Chains A and B, each alone.
Chain A
Amino acid sequence: MNLNNQKIIINIEDSEYLNWKIYLKSKFKMLNSCNIEIDSKNLKLSCTDISEIIEIANQYNCKIIGFSSTSEKTIVSIHSLGYKSHFSIESSSKNTSQIDDNNQIFSKTNFHQGTVRSGEYLDSPGDLLILGDVNPGAKVSAEGNIMIWGRLLGIAHAGSKGNYQATISALQLRPVQLRIAKKVARGPEEKPQLGMAEQARIDSEEIVISPLETTYFEKSN
């Protein structure tokens, strides 16, 4: 049986959480020299854990070509090591029925607490709420809206799958670049007023920034 160059997906099941290292080792042993994608579910892995996984894989000539995870911590660790990854949504079919197309409210809001630092990348299949700053050099993206309870100084991409109604709001909006769906805008040159939350959205084919409207919240209710 030649499995070379074939993509194999390994799921780390709930029952294997405690001894995932041993579990992976046995898997790699079986799959000697394959391209592997790992689905770690909501297991929280640090950079060291992920380097370890890659090292174990190398011992058995396996090549890790991607990760998927539902844990933000894992995603950040993976990205900080420079690997490809994506968020997976659990039981997405159930959730989609709740999405109201007119209001563009997403059933799943991903929440990140802490500063998103240079080189880090957050991606969310729904809305993304960040409690902290997004520093220059960092990138955040969401299929829905992005809300930042802090300063946005990096790059933000809302409506990444083409939702033109998506918005980006932050307590201080001073990004390097803003993207909504397929529109791209450079950040404003002048310093924003202090103490005023702002929102970016698409208005007649252009990305505009205006003081955050309270109606936005009413709509969500």
Chain B
Amino acid sequence: MATDTRVILICSGKGGVGKTTLTANLGISLARQGLTTAVLDADFGLRNLDLLLGLENRIVYTAQEVLEEECRLDQALVKHKQESNLSLLPAGNPRMLDWLKPDDMKRIVEMLKEQFNYVLIDCPAGVEDGFKNAMAASQEAIVVTNPEVSAVRDADRVIGLLNTNSIKPVQLVLNRVRPKMMANQEMLSIDDVTDILALPLLGLVLEDEQVIVSTNRGEPLTLNSLNSPAAKCYLNIAKRLQGEDIPLIDPAEESSGLGAKFRRLMQTKIF
């Protein structure tokens, strides 16, 4: 039995910024480090964490049945095909939207805490009931945002709500960073975002076409394509979450082309 389970809410306010992708990849990365991890899909109205993990066809029961004592918890938990340390628990059936209350969420998480080192809660978009339910059961939070005005605004709103509910610590992940656009000042810079949100930055994730491919395949990047830029970012985030001190990537360095990179490499070798 794990005693010091960390229950982390992954939320953003705005939809489509990459909450579910982060949850899936973080889940895989933590599991790879030998930590038992449960990912709880609290976005059951539009659930797709199971799709990303390629586990859609294995779901039989949900947390709803567990709470109604129609099945045991271990029957509802779906173990990942390759990463046996990772389990998925879908919160409920998309057809029954209003059954879940904050207390139900707390009960599910209490049960999960007995078995796992990490519980990651994939929060639905918005700041309404779905978010409040998910928040009720969490201790700490990761806010995902993109370097664009609307995503930052929504993240700010969510951080305000997390603060009033005394969820600590709240950390930031800046997703879909395009180094070239940042260098040309066509995109909000990292400083712009951290200035407004005033949160410690847990990590950056570079924009990567492979993310779309991996989503469609149901295989998170961190599972098989470890060399893709985004996968490296996700792995670093998982390590930092564990308290390892890994420096942030510098988008300016990423933006300069291959030639510049090569030259820099040459220089360091020669001198």
Chain A residues within CB distance 8 Å of chain B = 46-48, 51, 73, 76-77, 80, 114-115, 117-120, 133, 135-137, 153
Interface string of B91-111 (1 = CB under 8 A from A): 000000000000000000000
A119 to B159, CA, bound (A): 11
Task: Tell me whether B80 is interfacial, beta carbon within 8 Å.
Answer: no
Residues from chain B with a CB closer than 8 A to the CB of A51 are 132
Number of interface residues of B (CB under 8 A): 17
Which of B21-29, B150-158, B177-185, B256-264 is the interface stretch? B150-158
Which of B33-41, B117-125, B161-169, B207-215 is the interface stretch? B161-169
Residues from chain A with a CB closer than 8 A to the CB of B156 are 117-119, 135-137
Residues from chain B with a CB closer than 8 A to the CB of A73 are 164
Is B165 in contact with A137, judged by CB distance below 8 angstroms?
Answer: no
Q: Could you list some 13 contacts between A and B, CB below 8 A?
A: A46-B164, A46-B165, A47-B161, A47-B164, A47-B165, A48-B136, A73-B164, A114-B163, A115-B198, A117-B156, A117-B160, A120-B160, A136-B149
Task: Tell me whether B1 is interfacial, beta carbon within 8 Å.
Answer: no
Residues from chain B with a CB closer than 8 A to the CB of A137 are 153, 156-157
Residues from chain A with a CB closer than 8 A to the CB of B270 are none
Residue of B whose beta carbon sits closest to that of A135 = B156
Residues from chain B with a CB closer than 8 A to the CB of A119 are 127, 156-157, 160
A118 to B198, CA, bound (A): 13
Task: Tell me whether B266 is interfacial, beta carbon within 8 Å.
Answer: no
Task: Tell me whether B196 is interfacial, beta carbon within 8 Å.
Answer: yes
Residues from chain A with a CB closer than 8 A to the CB of B196 are 133, 135-136, 153
A43 to B122, CA, bound (A): 33
Residues from chain B with a CB closer than 8 A to the CB of A76 are 160, 164
* Contacts A51-B132, A133-B198, A153-B196 given; does A118 touch B153 at CB 8 Å: yes
Residues from chain A with a CB closer than 8 A to the CB of B163 are 114, 117
A117 to B163, CA, bound (A): 10
Chain B binding surface SS class = helix
Residues from chain B with a CB closer than 8 A to the CB of A48 are 136, 165
- Using A76-B160, A77-B164, A114-B163 as known contacts, list a sample of 10 further A-B pairs with CB atoms less than 8 Å apart, ordered by residue number in A: A47-B161, A51-B132, A73-B164, A115-B198, A117-B157, A117-B160, A119-B127, A133-B196, A136-B156, A136-B196
Which of B154, B160, B163, B196 gathers most chain A CB within 10 Å?
B160
Chain A binding surface SS class = loop
A136 to B195, CA, bound (A): 12
Residues from chain A with a CB closer than 8 A to the CB of B160 are 76, 80, 117-120
CB distance from A191 to the nearest CB of B (A): 12
Residues from chain A with a CB closer than 8 A to the CB of B153 are 118, 136-137
A137 to B165, CA, bound (A): 20
Which of A47, A80, A117 gathers most chain B CB within 10 Å?
A117
Residues from chain B with a CB closer than 8 A to the CB of A77 are 164
Residues from chain A with a CB closer than 8 A to the CB of B164 are 46-47, 73, 76-77, 80
Residue of A whose beta carbon sits closest to that of B160 = A117
Interface string of B113-150 (1 = CB under 8 A from A): 00000000000000100001000100000000000010
A48 to B154, CA, bound (A): 20
A138 to B4, CA, bound (A): 37
Is A117 in contact with B165, judged by CB distance below 8 angstroms?
Answer: no
Residues from chain A with a CB closer than 8 A to the CB of B127 are 119
Which parts of B11-61 form the interface with A (CB within 8 Å)?
Answer: none
CB distance from A55 to the nearest CB of B (A): 9
Is B154 in contact with A118, judged by CB distance below 8 angstroms?
Answer: yes
CB distance from B68 to the nearest CB of A (A): 21
A153 to B61, CA, bound (A): 48
CB distance from B166 to the nearest CB of A (A): 7
CB distance from B103 to the nearest CB of A (A): 10
